[in-house]
């Protein structure tokens, strides 16, 4: 099946002479409204490339034993702006470790990526669409380069109107630079969304597939395996929740509960957890500085960041080595801030995680914080660990630095703002209620599913709920004399956000306990500046047991 658009540069050339691979690939591309032209052999492929093509899809076996000289000559002689994307379908994976033949093909073909069969049709089409977008940007860059060349020739020929021509050229260059920056932004967004789609599709497959199997088993009254399917769906959903939190951390939009924290105590308390996460051949060492001031940080997120770095260090030492966690304090002056943008002068507590592993080259260090970038084999790691640490440190008012050399190991340092404020004393255990006694809870949540779940939890705990989807409709009830023992409110609401609703509620009922539930709210990113007295926050997604505990605690202390 051949389907080609009028513009040959949008064609996808398909070389798969064995079996049904060519028909399958072209059918998938046709269904996605992409042009596909099947070629019979390598000479036909090279001829098609000379006429113009957006990308190539080829099976590895079609290239492995063939004469690649013509294809290599085409790739080598491409103009400076061109870099033909080639997608190779392989049975053995694209990495050199798993497929040594990939080394020869990668060196010959240049911009080649590998997709292991069997593959999901959505993954295949997404990769081809990304390749075509990249190819279109190359042609756009060619056009811009041509525009620049014409502008430069016009400038050289200018005489009487030299000043005006300089202004025109400068404007053109600025427009070109802006277009290039936009192209780079789109490339980054494409990488991010592609990574998200890949991981979420895997997780949703676990959830949707398990639910479908459960529905079938229940319909046939076979209940023996439901627990297994429930566990699979729950585990996939929890992985999706972790991925979302890491994305929020990278984008510096997660909800942080920043407080003064005694860092040495936090690090020492993680000794057992880190020891369980590393291999037996790795020796764990601590070097804790003396007389450290407290750091203003979300303790839970810092623990997660340190554990991420420890796991990265473990993976960098497959044959064993030394993992060292150190703490210190440093004063950064204005000169340091000028030389290292992104961090303000001041006193910082430093947490350093170092290893004696394989190390990183400078080009890898520059990419290390990019989302979904990873040096691990396919299927191992999401590539969000370091980007999460970076976003968390930035949102905390600090910074992350990587120091590494190939073969000599890596040290990652987290800079956290210090404070002279004392660490808050731990409160005694809060008595919780296993069941309510008919207390009235006002629920304001615009999502029907979440509102239903909160209502069910309240009923299970023997509370009485009053529900509103619109905060404006809840105001008359708050202003009335009706009894309200607790308000549960989403932060992101239509017409009025949850914090504004809380202010209104407190104007009528000054002592009303309030529980905020939020999936993401930019203004609630730092909880200390968002929450008032007798208010607490619960981030979505949450377990129903956690919600029940928070409700009981607030009711018990009101």
* Cis amide linkage into residue 356, ω under 30° from 0: no
Shared fold status for 158-250 and 440-557: no
pLDDT at 379: 43
pLDDT level of residue 159 (50, 70, 90 thresholds): low
pLDDT level of residue 105 (50, 70, 90 thresholds): confident
Q: What is the mean pLDDT of residues 417-426?
A: 75
Q: Is the pLDDT of residue 392 over 80?
A: no
pLDDT at 499: 85
pLDDT at 93: 54
Q: Is the pLDDT of residue 207 over 60?
A: yes
CATH fold, domain 158-250, is: Helix Hairpins (1.10.287)
- % the chain with pLDDT above 70: 77
| Residues 451-460: contacts with CB under 8 Å, at least 24 apart | 453/544, 454/488, 454/517, 454/547, 457/544, 457/547, 457/548, 457/551, 458/551, 460/548
Q: Which CATH architecture has domain 8-138?
A: 3-Layer(aba) Sandwich (3.40)
β-pairing verdict for 55-59 and 12-15? parallel
For 465-478, how does the pLDDT look when each residue is reduced to its tens digit (9 = 90+)?
A: 999 999 999 999 99
pLDDT at 523: 45
pLDDT: which is higher, 520 or 270: 270
pLDDT at 550: 85
pLDDT: which is higher, 376 or 451: 451
Q: Which of the residue ranges 169-183, 317-331, 519-533 has the most confident prediction, judged by mean pLDDT?
A: 317-331
If we measure between CA atoms, which residue out of 78, 61, 57, 71 comes closest to residue 108? 71
* Residue 282 DSSP SS3: strand
Q: What is the mean pLDDT of residues 301-326?
A: 88
* Residue 440 DSSP SS3: strand
Helix 69-76 and helix 42-51: axis angle, to 10°? Answer: 20
pLDDT level of residue 373 (50, 70, 90 thresholds): low
All structural domains of the chain with their residue ranges? 8-138, 158-250, 259-419, 440-557
Strand partners, 402: 412
pLDDT at 529: 52
pLDDT at 348: 93
- % the chain with pLDDT above 90: 16
As a whole number of angstroms, the distance between CA 97 and CA 406 comes to 19
Q: Is the pLDDT of residue 554 over 90?
A: no
Q: How far is CA 328 from the centre of its chain?
A: 30
Kindly state the tokens that stand for 519: 């999936």
As a whole number of angstroms, the distance between CA 396 and CA 227 comes to 41
pLDDT: which is higher, 213 or 260: 260
For 18-63, how does the pLDDT look when each residue is reduced to its tens digit (9 = 90+)?
A: 888 888 888 998 988 888 899 999 999 999 888 888 899 988 888 8
Q: DSSP state, 65?
A: T
Q: Is the pLDDT of residue 381 over 60?
A: no
Q: Is the pLDDT of residue 525 over 50?
A: no
Average pLDDT of the chain, as a whole number: 79
Q: Identify the CATH number of the domain defined by range 259-419.
A: 3.30.565.10
Q: Is the pLDDT of residue 4 over 70?
A: no
As a whole number of angstroms, the distance between CA 178 and CA 171 comes to 11
Q: Report CA torsion sign: 509, 510, 511, 512.
A: positive
Distances 397 to 36, 47, 302, 343, 349 between C-alpha atoms, Å: 50, 56, 13, 8, 12
pLDDT at 166: 72
Phi, psi of 413 (to 5 degrees): -115, 130
pLDDT at 244: 62
pLDDT: which is higher, 433 or 376: 376
Q: Is the pLDDT of residue 85 over 60?
A: yes
Q: Which CATH architecture has domain 440-557?
A: 3-Layer(aba) Sandwich (3.40)
Q: What is the mean pLDDT of residues 351-372?
A: 83
């Amino acid at each position: 099946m051949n389907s080609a658009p009028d513009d040959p540069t949008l064609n996808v050339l398909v070389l798969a002479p064995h079996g049904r691979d060519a028909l399958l690939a072209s059918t998938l591309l046709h269904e996605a409204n992409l042009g596909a032209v099947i070629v019979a052999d390598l000479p036909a492929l090279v001829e098609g490339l000379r006429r113009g093509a957006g990308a190539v899809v080829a099976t590895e076996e079609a290239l492995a034993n063939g004469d690649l000289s013509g294809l290599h000559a085409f790739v080598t002689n491409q103009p400076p702006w061109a870099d033909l994307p080639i997608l190779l379908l392989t049975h053995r994976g694209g990495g050199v470790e798993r497929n040594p033949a990939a080394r020869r093909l990668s060196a010959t073909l240049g911009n080649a990526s590998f997709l292991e069969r069997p593959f999901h049709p959505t993954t295949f089409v997404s990769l081809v669409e990304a390749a075509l977008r990249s190819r279109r940007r190359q042609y756009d860059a060619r056009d811009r380069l041509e525009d620049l060349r014409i502008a430069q020739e016009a400038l050289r020929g200018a005489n009487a109107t030299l000043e005006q021509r300089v202004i025109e050229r400068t404007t053109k260059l600025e427009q070109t630079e802006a277009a290039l920056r936009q192209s780079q932004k789109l490339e980054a967004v494409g990488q991010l969304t592609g990574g998200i789609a890949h991981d979420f599709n895997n997780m949703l497959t676990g959830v949707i597939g398990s639910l479908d199997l459960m529905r079938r088993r229940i319909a046939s009254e076979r209940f023996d395996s439901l627990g297994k399917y429930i566990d699979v769906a729950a585990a996939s959903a929890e992985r999706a929740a972790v991925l979302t939190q890491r994305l929020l951390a990278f984008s510096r939009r997660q909800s942080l509960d920043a407080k003064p924290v005694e860092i040495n105590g936090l690090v020492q308390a993680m000794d057992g957890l880190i020891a369980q996460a590393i291999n037996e051949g790795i020796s764990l060492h601590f070097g804790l500085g003396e007389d450290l001031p407290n750091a203003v940080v979300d303790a839970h997120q810092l623990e997660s960041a340190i554990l991420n770095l420890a796991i990265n260090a473990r993976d960098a030492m497959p044959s064993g080595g030394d993992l060292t966690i150190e703490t210190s304090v440093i004063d950064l002056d204005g000169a340091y801030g000028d030389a290292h943008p992104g961090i303000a002068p001041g006193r910082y507590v430093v947490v350093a995680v170092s290893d004696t592993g394989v190390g990183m080259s400078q080009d890898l260090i520059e990419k290390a914080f990019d989302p979904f970038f990873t040096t691990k084999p396919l299927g191992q790691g999401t590539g969000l660990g370091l980007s999460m640490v970076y976003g968390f440190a930035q949102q905390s008012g600090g910074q992350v630095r990587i120091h590494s050399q190939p073969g000599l190991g890596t040290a990652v340092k987290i800079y956290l703002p210090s404070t002279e404020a004392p660490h808050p004393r731990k409160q005694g255990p809060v008595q919780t209620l296993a069941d309510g006694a008919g207390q009235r809870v006002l629920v304001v949540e615009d999502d029907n599913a979440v509102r239903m779940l909160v209502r069910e939890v309240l009923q299970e705990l023997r509370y009485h709920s009053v529900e509103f989807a619109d905060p404006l409709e809840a105001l008359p009830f708050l202003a009335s004399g009706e009894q309200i023992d607790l308000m549960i409110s989403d932060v992101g609401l239509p017409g009025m956000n949850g914090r504004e609703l809380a202010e209104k509620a407190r104007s009528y009922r000054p002592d009303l306990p309030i529980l905020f539930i939020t999936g993401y709210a930019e203004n609630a990113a730092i909880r200390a500046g968002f929450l008032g007295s007798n208010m607490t926050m619960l981030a979505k997604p949450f377990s129903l047991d956690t919600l029940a505990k928070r409700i009981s605690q607030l009711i018990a202390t009101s």
